[in-house]
Amino acid sequence: MKKKFKLQDLDCANCAAKMEDLIKKIDGVNDASVSFMTQKMMVDADDARFDDIMKEVVKVCAKVEPDCKILL
């Protein structure tokens, strides 16, 4: 399943790159992209576990950029 999410308060391109790398390492994620310019994130992950994977994505993103919110 591939879904796009809007990001709020993502402050820098470096943080976006770090978030993208960490999301791609999560078990069950096929692909991910985080764009600082558009403030959007795309996650392509296993359909059966998508909700659990997104919880992990939220945790990872909070570690890199505590002020950034993923509008689910």
Per-residue pLDDT reduced to its tens digit, 1-30: 999 999 999 999 999 999 999 999 999 999
Q: Is the dihedral of CA 52, 60, 21, 7 positive or negative?
A: positive
Instruction: Looking at the chain, list the stretches that DSSP marks H as alpha helix, in order from N- to C-terminal side.
Output: 13-24, 50-64
Residue 40 parent element (H or E): strand 40-45
User: For position 27, what pLDDT does the model report?
Assistant: 97
Question: Closest by alpha carbon to 72, among 20, 15, 7, 2?
Answer: 7
Q: Which residues contact 51 (CB under 8 A, 6 or more apart)?
A: none
pLDDT per residue as tens digits for the range 18-64: 999 999 999 999 999 999 999 999 999 999 999 999 999 999 999 99
User: Has residue 72 got a pLDDT over 90?
Assistant: no
Domains of the chain listed by start with CATH number = 2-71 (3.30.70.100)
pTM of the model: 0.94
Q: CA-to-CA distance for 20 and 31, rounded, in angstroms? A: 9
